[in-house]
Structure 1
Amino acid sequence: MCVMATKWTRLGEKLRAARTDLGIEQQQIAVAVGVTRGAVGNIERGDVARMTPTIREYARVVGWTDDSPERVLAGREPVLRDAERQDVGSAEGGAVATDLAVDVQESLRRGPLLQSQVVEVKTPAGKVVATIVLRGEEGQSPEELLAALRSVTVQVSADETGNQPKE
């Protein structure tokens, strides 16, 4: 393998490791950076030959500083941003997006993860992205958690301004 391919492969491996350490799926990265899951896979395999805005955004989403991709390409380690590690929530790391309501931030940290999904809906004006995170209570058996997951139905609605309807 040539040196050029090796450094891009190393960058992809480091990004993949950062993503998996945070419990983020490839599809979540793809939605966050605005590309296909296949493009994320190409980056993670090192099937790239130049620095792109997509790679920079991927690095930002996993919490790296702006210069970290170049640091990795130069054989050094990435550096995490201090104040905000990433925009995608992580129960293990305790970091969540800071623009969320406090009760939402807290709920993203509590209990074992049952399921998470990112849903993207295209609209005439662009797109809307919904992030759905289902967590159980500590101490529940796997069977209880599975039963709870199977009983969940999520309905989302908003008026034309994006506000939730009052009940």
Structure 2
Amino acid sequence: MRPDTTEPIEVIPQEIVRETVQRKEEVEPKRDAALETMAKELGELKQMVIDAVTTVKNQSIPSTSAAATSRTPSMSEQTTTGKMDKNMGKLQLFNAIKRYLNPSMVALLRMEMFGGMDREWKEDEKEFAVELYNLGINVYEFMRDEWRFRLPPEKMVKEWAEGM
């Protein structure tokens, strides 16, 4: 009996405690490995975007001396460069990169490149945000605050999670 009440203390059988601890020990390494893999992929993706945007910015700002000496390329030079234009826009850059990414990374890339808080969120972006939220509020806040990902507000994500 507990001293502050007349109710008896409930005793949990040792088998149930062992099973619960064992299940937790089996799940945690898998979850940790998945989080580490996702964090690594996100870091690589963010670096790719930063590199690509930096390259595009550097190429789109011509210096005055380079502009004075520039000439139009001949037809043979234009065909050798192929499809890749040096002055790609954001949309062209996004379309070129997204082929190499899985759907979750495409959603994250779209949020990073075109994200704004006052826009309509696409379905895959909602699903990605809900997945992060379901991993834990601390994971969601870490991605948003520490890595500065452009994620929807927590209130929106919570509503989406309840609706799914």
Give 1 or 2: higher strand fraction. 1
Q: Which has the larger radius of gyration?
A: 2
TM-score normalised according to structure 2 size:
0.21
Give 1 or 2: higher helix fraction. 2
TM-score normalised according to structure 1 size:
0.21
